[in-house]
Amino acid sequence: MSNKTPAERLYAIVEQGLCIGCGLCQTVAGKDAQGKRRVSVVKTSNGYLTPVIESELDHETVDRIYATCPGTRVEGLPSRLIEADTRQDNVWGPWRRMVRAWAADPVVRFEGSTGGVLTALAAYLLVSKRVEFVLHVKTSSSEPSFGEPTLSFTDADVFEAAGSRYGPTAPLLNIDEILERNQTFAFIAKPCDIGALRNYAKQDERVDRLMRYCLTLVCGGFGTPQSTNAFFRRVGIEPDTVTGLRYRGRGCPGPTRVETTETVQEFHYIDFWGEDETTWALPFRCKICPDGIGEAADIAVSDTWVGGSPNRVDSVDDPGVNGLIARTAAGEELVAAAARDGALTIDYDIIPDTLSLYQPHQVNKKYSAWARHQGLGDAGRIVPHTEGLRIEELALDLPEEANRFQRDGTRQRVENGKASEPTPEKA
């Protein structure tokens, strides 16, 4: 047992840059004898959504948090969901079918991110009555650059929330209340959020009983609050005046649309993110992520820009095409049914090598993850527990000097203070 107090142990996850702000620890910590939450996930002084202790914690509670937190535990698809004939790729994980596809409804395709596949599938799940609601995210009602969890009960609800969110979002913030509804649902969120709920399923049987589908995006990470504010200022907008922000959609990738009290301005996706991954400003946890490809989901959906990023010319008239990975039998059946019933248009089948052309940054990150985690250990930091992701096996395929570069670079980043966050205080 660590010499740290329960509070110090919880805050270490945040201080060491591992908290992704999913909101799950709020539920796992539960309530005290007076009915008060022990932990609340709120916006804190660093601009992120992180846990703040509201009532006394014990080590047993913090142990449960460590067992479910996607910052401390990252696992692949549960073995019970991997059929004997499921194919495996060392980088891309388990898969049953990979296709290029888009939303059959041209309006959904236009409004949604890339080809609108996640929006189309979410709406189809409701219209076909496969689930009673969809838990996903929409634009925050109070923080324009943030997302917030929402429940959709109709296809119109889903459509209203269409579009990517690249700011802090806590989709699992009130998962205890959602499970208390005792209704079947689908969950659509980032890979780390999916992994968190899969972890929690080991503590709460209602998750596997009620959650019928997990859908995710192939995720490059989300923008830090500091980088988003820097973007606003770079284009001559004061962050405090922003009343609305749409990151992409209405085309592929579509404009980044910023609304203020006085103006509406649109910018290219590249203006926000930069020309390639070297300019991406991401939280530290995203930089050491061993699963940006959504291995714990039934279906993962990606962009399909060769090289991993759009260019300013070709993307102007791009109608949007998603890469789609069906990992489970349920995911494979859902894709086929959605195509059969006119919700999805399938272009043609692809293979893992095709996805690697679309997502080279995911390939690089997957190969680098093990060495980066070793660098955390060298620096005396928490090393996320991983299982079923093959990251050590992939690292063995690299030259020793490549692993050493990643390992030393992570250790140096920690030592230089680039992997640390302050102790959470409410903003």
Domain residues of the chain, as ranges? 79-220+281-355, 225-277
Percent of the chain having pLDDT more than 90? 93
- 3-state SS, one letter per residue, for 115-137: CCHHHHHHHHHHHCCCCCEEEEE
pLDDT in the model for residue 334: 98
pLDDT digits (tens, 9 = 90+) for 184-197: 999 999 999 999 99
Reported confidence tier of residue 312, pLDDT bands at 50, 70, 90: confident
Distance CA 424, CA 47 (A): 10
pLDDT digits (tens, 9 = 90+) for 252-281: 999 999 999 999 999 999 999 887 777 788
Q: With contact defined as beta carbons under 8 Å apart, do 299 and 334 qualify?
A: yes
Percent of the chain having pLDDT more than 70? 99
pLDDT in the model for residue 313: 77
pLDDT in the model for residue 296: 98
**Amino acid identity at 314:** D
The pLDDT of 158-182, averaged and rounded, is: 96
The single residue listed with the structure tokens 């606003």 is: 232
Lowest mean pLDDT among 2-16, 264-278, 341-355, 361-375: 264-278
Distance CA 114, CA 238 (A): 29
Distance CA 199, CA 217 (A): 19
Reported confidence tier of residue 224, pLDDT bands at 50, 70, 90: very high
Reported confidence tier of residue 314, pLDDT bands at 50, 70, 90: confident
Rg of the chain over Cα atoms, rounded to whole angstroms, equals 21
Closest to 185 (Cα-Cα) out of 221, 218, 158, 219: 158
pLDDT in the model for residue 145: 95
Q: With contact defined as beta carbons under 8 Å apart, do 383 and 12 qualify?
A: no
Q: Is the pLDDT of residue 38 over 90?
A: yes
Judge if pTM exceeds 0.85.
Answer: yes
Phi and psi at 260, nearest 5°, equal -125, 180
pLDDT digits (tens, 9 = 90+) for 1-26: 578 999 999 999 999 999 999 999 99
DSSP-H helix ranges across 88-213: 106-111, 117-127, 155-160, 175-179, 191-201, 206-210
Distance CA 130, CA 298 (A): 15
DSSP line for 326-376? E-SHHHHHHHHHHHHTTSEEEEEE--HHHHHHH-HHHHHHHHHHHHHHHHH
The pLDDT of 167-173, averaged and rounded, is: 96
Pairing of strands 133-139, 147-152: antiparallel
Q: Is the pLDDT of residue 165 over 60?
A: yes
Q: Is the pLDDT of residue 40 over 60?
A: yes
The pLDDT of 387-411, averaged and rounded, is: 98
pLDDT digits (tens, 9 = 90+) for 56-99: 999 999 999 999 999 999 999 999 999 999 999 999 999 999 99
pLDDT in the model for residue 315: 73
The pLDDT of 211-223, averaged and rounded, is: 96
HSE-up of residue 369 (Cα within 13 Å, Cβ side): 26
Phi and psi at 423, nearest 5°, equal -60, 130
Which one has a higher pLDDT value, 142 or 2? 142
**pLDDT averaged over every residue in the chain:** 96
